[in-house]
Amino acid sequence: MATQIFVNLPVKDLNKSVEFFTRLGYTFNPQFTNEQATCMIVSDTIFVMLLVEPFFKTFSSKEIADSSKVVESIICLSAEGRDEVDAIIGKAIEAGAIAPKDKVDYGWMYSGSFEDLDGHLWEYVWMDPAGPPQQQ
């Protein structure tokens, strides 16, 4: 069995977060969805659990990071190509996200990023399968 990853993120308004990520093309597993949480399906092995803040707090005694002021992580997902990077970032901006910086183009690698409605940082990256140019 392949290793699966479940990223857990606190959200202020679950319905708004579901609406936002639905506009980006993601779907949700109804078996793991209620008024406190939902399971966003990224791929067969990647899932993002969106948990309302009071419920998220039950998993840790630490404070929840205020993502409008500090970075708690950057979630980076691969894209099939440059067009896909542009498309997902464009959808995110149209759905209410902000772009914290310009896209980065190294020729063999291309990336874009956005902050979601709760300030979590997301990055989408395409890399040439041949990898970076060889150093001489």
Give how far Cα 80 sits from Cα of 19, 87, 112, Å.
24, 11, 13
At 65 the three-state DSSP class reads coil
At 16 the three-state DSSP class reads helix
Which domains does the chain possess?
A: 1-59 (3.10.180.10), 69-136 (3.10.180.10)
Please give the share of the chain, as a percent, with pLDDT higher than 70: 99
**Residue 4 falls in which region: left (phi positive, over 0), alpha (psi -120 to 50) or beta:** beta
- Report the predicted TM-score, pTM, of the whole model to 2 decimal places: 0.89
CB 57 within 8 A of CB 8: no
- By DSSP bridging, strand 121-127 and strand 74-78 are parallel
Amino acid at 8: N
How much is the pLDDT for 135? 64
pLDDT per position as a tens digit, 79-123: 999 999 999 999 999 999 999 999 999 999 999 999 999 999 999
Amino acid at 113: S
Closest CA to 52 of 9, 7, 18, 11: 11
CB 116 within 8 A of CB 20: yes
How much is the pLDDT for 2? 86
